């Protein structure tokens, strides 16, 4: 004990500053993982412990906007049109397709009477084509409760709509879900792509569960038709390219009952991500509109990214100084904080990953943890550059 006291007494002011900063960033990181990122897993386990009955399931309209996605529609529509749900319709809006989309929809209509399809007029403003297509679909919907996905997505089970119906029946006006990326193992960086997708979802799903919903993804979400018209459709974001899902939720969710649907039966799956560039295009859409997000949640999540890098920086400086001065107690303290953080991070992300994505992580988690914010920065620059050229 006396020897330990002597070692501590030998710490210089610089060492104390480094330890203090390292411990501060460590605490912030631990709070994010235990309080924020662990929330979806704990929420789902609580839901499983007290399941809700299927009584009074509301009728639902599923809305899909499609542009030149005939092959994807041909594959995904049967999964959507053969759902185990008592009363629903599927509306597909053909947004100026020049491929065989009409042929696919006409053929499917003969087999599935609950499929309705319409189109975006040829003279529509191309900048707002997606928003216009969704508006047309929403106006055509017979039912109050709306569920959205994309032509290149499919439900993972036949109970996708049922899970949303249960959540709507509990009084929620907005529902947010998880979309898995189905990617070939031969694709470059396929494990990192799935990790990045998991973290992206954990951020907005966790914040929604904590009472701060700030975005959703159009591949798996729902809201009420009355809510859409109450906010005058997409009028608040018509001047922004994109954002018909994430940014729209950001504008309308404040004070609105918002639920999160996380059961394995509620997950949808994105098909066709077969290379790095497809993923970059898919991800850049949200990185561009991220700059327009409002509320406290985006600020808190920015704090998480900052403290993540700050923790690693302080860790490196502390260990470097301890080796230079042969202060091994300082080394031990730094490594202990690192191992505790890694252990908690590993536990939280593996539980969430296996629940939502069917995937676990090991030592590769360290590499992904460092690379993800840097990769987001690169993709954000790409997204901003692409949108400047599109204007």
Q: How many domains does the chain have?
A: 2
pTM comes to: 0.92
Q: Does residue 387 form part of some domain?
A: no
Q: What is the pLDDT of residues 344-372, one digit of tens each?
A: 999 999 999 999 988 888 888 989 998 88
Q: Is the pLDDT of residue 4 over 80?
A: no
The answer to whether residues 25 and 59 belong to one domain is no
Query: Which of 94-103, 150-159, 268-277, 285-294 has the largest mean confidence?
Result: 150-159
The answer to whether residues 77 and 101 belong to one domain is yes
The answer to whether residues 9 and 103 belong to one domain is no
Provide the 8-state DSSP code for 128: G
Q: Does residue 57 form part of some domain?
A: yes
The pLDDT value given to residue 247: 95
Task: Express as a percent the part of the chain with pLDDT over 70.
Answer: 93
The pLDDT value given to residue 124: 66
Q: Quick one: average pLDDT of 47-66?
A: 86
Q: Which of 110-114, 183-187, 205-209 has the lowest mean pLDDT?
A: 183-187
The answer to whether residues 13 and 86 belong to one domain is no
Average pLDDT, the chain: 90
Q: Which of 99-113, 264-278, 286-300 has the lowest mean pLDDT?
A: 264-278
The pLDDT value given to residue 276: 76
The pLDDT value given to residue 117: 95
Q: Quick one: average pLDDT of 367-386?
A: 77
The answer to whether residues 208 and 347 belong to one domain is no
Q: Does residue 366 form part of some domain?
A: no
Q: Quick one: average pLDDT of 185-203?
A: 89
- 8 A C-beta contact, residue 147 and residue 164: yes
The pLDDT value given to residue 6: 57
Q: Does residue 66 form part of some domain?
A: yes
Provide the 8-state DSSP code for 103: H
Domain edge (last residue) among 278, 307, 338: 278
Please, which residues have CB within 8 angstroms of residue 54's CB and are 6 or more apart in sequence?
Answer: 162, 165, 166
Domain containing 17 equals 2-37+298-360
The pLDDT value given to residue 391: 46
The answer to whether residues 226 and 340 belong to one domain is no
- 8 A C-beta contact, residue 15 and residue 181: no
Q: Does residue 285 form part of some domain?
A: no
Question: How many C-beta atoms lie closer than 10 Å to residue 343's C-beta?
Answer: 10
Q: Is the pLDDT of residue 85 over 70?
A: yes
69: CATH = 3.90.550.10
Q: Does residue 123 form part of some domain?
A: yes
The answer to whether residues 207 and 324 belong to one domain is no
Token pair 């904080």 is found at 337
Return the closest-CA partner of residue 32 out of 326, 325, 345, 314: 345
The pLDDT value given to residue 388: 53
Provide the residue count of the chain.
391
The answer to whether residues 61 and 100 belong to one domain is yes
Q: Does residue 377 form part of some domain?
A: no
The answer to whether residues 29 and 77 belong to one domain is no
Q: Is the pLDDT of residue 13 over 90?
A: no
Return the closest-CA partner of residue 64 out of 73, 75, 74, 51: 73
Q: Does residue 287 form part of some domain?
A: no
Q: Which of 44-58, 157-171, 193-207, 208-222 has the lowest mean pLDDT?
A: 44-58
The answer to whether residues 257 and 342 belong to one domain is no
Question: How many C-beta atoms lie closer than 10 Å to residue 49's C-beta?
Answer: 7
Band of residue 279 on the pLDDT scale cut at 50, 70, 90: confident
Q: How far apart are the first and last CA of the chain?
A: 68
The answer to whether residues 260 and 322 belong to one domain is no
The pLDDT value given to residue 385: 64
The answer to whether residues 65 and 19 belong to one domain is no
The pLDDT value given to residue 72: 94
């Amino acid at each position: 004990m006396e020897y330990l006291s002597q070692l501590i007494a030998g710490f210089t002011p610089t060492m104390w500053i480094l330890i203090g900063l390292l411990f501060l960033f460590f605490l912030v990181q631990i709070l994010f993982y235990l309080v924020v990122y662990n929330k979806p897993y704990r929420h789902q386990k609580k839901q499983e412990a007290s399941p809700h009955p299927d009584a009074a399931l509301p009728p639902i309209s599923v809305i899909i906007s499609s542009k030149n996605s005939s092959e994807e529609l041909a594959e995904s529509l049967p999964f959507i049109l053969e759902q185990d749900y008592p009363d629903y319709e599927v509306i597909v809006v053909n947004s100026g397709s020049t491929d065989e989309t009409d042929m696919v929809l006409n053929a499917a209509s003969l087999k599935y009477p609950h499929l309705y399809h319409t189109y975006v007029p040829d003279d529509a403003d191309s900048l707002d084509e997606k928003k216009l297509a969704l508006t047309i679909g929403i106006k055509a919907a017979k039912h109050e409760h709306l569920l959205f996905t994309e032509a290149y997505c499919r439900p993972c089970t036949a109970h996708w709509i049922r899970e949303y119906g249960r959540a709507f029946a509990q009084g929620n006006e907005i529902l947010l879900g998880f979309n898995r990326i189905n990617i070939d193992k031969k694709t470059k960086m396929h494990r990192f792509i799935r990790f990045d997708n998991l973290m992206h979802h954990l951020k907005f799903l966790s914040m929604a569960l904590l009472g701060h919903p700030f975005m959703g993804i159009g591949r798996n979400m729902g809201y009420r038709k009355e809510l859409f018209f109450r906010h005058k459709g997409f009028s608040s974001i018509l001047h922004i390219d994109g954002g018909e899902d994430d940014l729209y939720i950001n504008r309308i969710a404040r004070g609105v009952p918002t639920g999160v649907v996380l059961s394995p039966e509620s997950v949808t799956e994105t098909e066709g991500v077969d290379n790095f560039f497809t993923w970059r295009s898919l991800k850049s859409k949200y990185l561009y509109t991220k700059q327009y997000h409002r509320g406290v949640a985006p600020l808190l999540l920015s704090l998480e990214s900052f403290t993540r890098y700050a923790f690693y920086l302080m860790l490196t400086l502390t260990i470097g100084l301890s080796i230079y001065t042969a202060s091994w107690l300082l080394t031990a303290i730094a490594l202990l904080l690192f191992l505790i953080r890694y252990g908690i991070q590993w536990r939280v992300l593996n539980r969430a990953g296996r629940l939502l994505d069917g995937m676990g992580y090991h030592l590769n988690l360290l590499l992904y943890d460092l690379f993800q914010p840097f990769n987001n920065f690169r993709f954000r620059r790409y997204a901003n550059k692409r949108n400047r050229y599109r204007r």
